[in-house]
């Protein structure tokens, strides 16, 4: 089983995790910029973090044969702190970099006017840079937050095929299915979504425009829950090709829209064969 984890925060994980992930079949990943727990108080604190996402983490991942990509944004939670707002004008410099494959995580935490403003501004940045956008749906009042996110996406004029709404669950998946946006699911040990619940959603909604991630971070989480989901799919009667579609080809298709995926020659050949002109040659 080859796995592309489309949302995992490796900054918060140990090198042992990279080793375990490689052994489990993880060959590529996307690390979205997010909230580190400790509030940041100035833009320099963000740029040091962004530099780690394009420098140190790809190096760490490469030691285990894992291709590392990232997304860059001011996250919804810190969008509420005026001291962090100065990060916005610094983003274009990062959005021009190799292996920055989307704007994100953006979206809502508490659905404040400040979050509205930063979310809309960052969707415009995605449009200007021709990049996908990763939208975090809030943990509280999720249905309202998901509907409101879809409204903001629509108002922005961005192609819905370039947008993933992440951290969906049973009450919110139906809101996103049929909008043209991608549907992201974070498989967590206790909360959000389990492998078995994910299998039930795949049965009901199909495999198209679905991304499954571990969203492993500094909280209770598990980088191998992508593998566990693949195993649960097989046990439920899905084929190995179905698993490959969900855990590899779908994230390659979504993030490939950036033109910046850095995958090995085998994967590139397979993606080209699948008719996706999504891999930029030679960079």
Would you tell me which residues interact with Zn ion (CB under 5 A)? 34, 215
Least CB distance to Zn ion at residue 32 (A): 5
Angle at 148 between CA 145 and CA 152, to 5 degrees: 130
Q: List the beta bridge partners of residue 29.
A: 5, 68
Least CB distance to Zn ion at residue 109 (A): 12
The string of DSSP letters for 5-43 reads ESS--GGGS-HHHHHHHHHHTEEEEEEE----SSPP-SH
Query: Reduced to 3 states, what is the DSSP secondary structure of residue 123?
Result: helix
- For Zn ion, the closer of residues 18 and 34 by Cβ is 34
Least CB distance to Zn ion at residue 166 (A): 7
Least CB distance to Zn ion at residue 9 (A): 6
- For Zn ion, the closer of residues 135 and 210 by Cβ is 135
- For Zn ion, the closer of residues 126 and 271 by Cβ is 126
- For Zn ion, the closer of residues 225 and 278 by Cβ is 225
- For Zn ion, the closer of residues 192 and 271 by Cβ is 192
12 class by beta-carbon count within 10 Å (0-12 exposed, 13-18 middle, 19+ buried): middle
How far is 196 from 212, CA to CA, in rounded Å? 13
How, if at all, do strands 182-186 and 210-213 pair? Answer: parallel
Least CB distance to Zn ion at residue 283 (A): 27
Residue 71 near residue 110 (C-beta atoms within 8 A): no
Helix (H), strand (E) at residue 200: helix 195-205
Least CB distance to Zn ion at residue 8 (A): 8
- For Zn ion, the closer of residues 74 and 215 by Cβ is 215
Q: List the beta bridge partners of residue 135.
A: 106, 165
Nearest residue to Zn ion on Cβ basis = 34
């Amino acid at each position: 089983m080859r796995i592309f984890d489309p949302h995992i925060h490796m900054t918060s994980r140990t090198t042992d995790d990279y080793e375990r992930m490689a052994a489990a079949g993880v060959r590529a990943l996307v690390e979205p910029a997010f909230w580190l727990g400790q509030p940041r108080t100035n833009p320099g604190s963000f740029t040091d973090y962004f530099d780690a996402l394009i420098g140190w983490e790809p190096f760490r991942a490469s030691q285990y044969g894992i291709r590392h990509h990232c997304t860059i944004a001011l996250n919804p939670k810190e969008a509420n702190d005026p001291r962090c707002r100065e990060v916005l004008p610094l983003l274009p410099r990062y959005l021009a970099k190799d292996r920055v494959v989307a704007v994100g995580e953006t979206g809502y935490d508490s659905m404040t006017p400040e979050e509205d403003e930063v979310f809309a501004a960052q969707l415009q940045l995605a449009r200007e840079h021709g990049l996908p956008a990763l939208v975090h749906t809030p943990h509280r009042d999720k249905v309202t937050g998901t509907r409101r996110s879809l409204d903001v996406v629509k108002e922005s004029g961005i192609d819905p095929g370039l947008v993933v709404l992440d951290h969906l669950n049973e009450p919110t998946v139906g809101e996103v299915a049929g909008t043209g946006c991608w549907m992201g699911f974070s498989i967590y040990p206790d909360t959000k979504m389990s492998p078995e619940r994910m299998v039930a959603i795949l049965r009901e909604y199909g495999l198209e425009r679905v991304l499954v991630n571990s969203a492993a971070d500094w909280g209770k989480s598990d980088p191998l829950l992508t593998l566990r989901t693949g195993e649960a799919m097989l046990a439920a009667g899905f084929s190995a090709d179905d698993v490959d579609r969900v855990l590899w080809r779908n994230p390659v298709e979504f993030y490939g829209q950036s033109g910046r995926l850095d995958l090995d020659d085998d994967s590139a050949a397979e993606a080209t064969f699948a008719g996706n002109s999504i891999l930029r040659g030679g960079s």
